[in-house]
A and B are shown apart, each in its own frame.
Chain A
Amino acid sequence: MVGGLTMFPIRLDDLRFTPQGRPVLAGVDLTLGGEGISVVLGPNGAGKSVLLRTLAGLEKPDGGSIAWNGSAVPGPAVAMVFQTPMLLRASVADNAALGLKPLKLSRAEVQGRVARVLERVGLAHRARDSARHLSGGERQRLALARAWAVGPRLLLLDEPTAALDPTATEAVEALIREIRTDGARIVMTTHNLGQAMRISDDIVFIEGGRVREHSPSARFFSRPQSPEAKLFMKGELPWRIAFED
Chain B
Amino acid sequence: MLPTLLDAFHLLGNLDAQVLAIVWLSLKVSLSAVALGALIGLPLGAWVAVARFPGRNGVAVFLNAMMGMPSVVLGVLVYLLLSRSGPLGSLGLLFSPAAMIFAQTLLVAPLIAALARQIVEDAWRDYAHEFAAFRLSRRQSVATLLFDCRFSLVVAVLAGLGRAISEVGAVMIVGGNIEGFTRVMTTAIALETAKGDLPLSIALGVVLVGLVLGLNALAHGLRQWAMVKYG
Contacts and interface: CB of A to CB of B under 8 A. Distances in A.
Contact of B134 (A53, A90, A102): A102
A231 interface: no
A146 B130 CA distance: 11
A90 B147 CA distance: 9
Contact of A102 (B130, B140, B231): B140
B120 to A, nearest CB: 13
Interface of B is mostly: helix
B127 interface: yes
A106 B133 CA distance: 22
Contact of B231 (A56, A80, A130): A130
Classify chain B's interface size.
20 to 34
B121 to A, nearest CB: 15
Interface stretch (A81-89, A109-117, A179-187, A222-230): A81-89
A102 B132 contact: no
Interface string B131-143: 0111111001000
A132 B137 CA distance: 24
A132 B126 CA distance: 14
A216 interface: no
Interface string A189-226: 00000000000000000000000000000000000000
B53 interface: no
Given A82-B129, A86-B126, A99 B134 contact: yes
A56 B144 CA distance: 21
B52 interface: no
A58 interface: yes
11 contacts: A57-B132, A57-B133, A58-B132, A76-B135, A85-B130, A86-B126, A89-B231, A102-B135, A102-B140, A130-B231, A131-B231
Interface of A: 53, 56-58, 76, 79-80, 82, 85-86, 88-90, 98-99, 101-102, 130-133, 146, 150
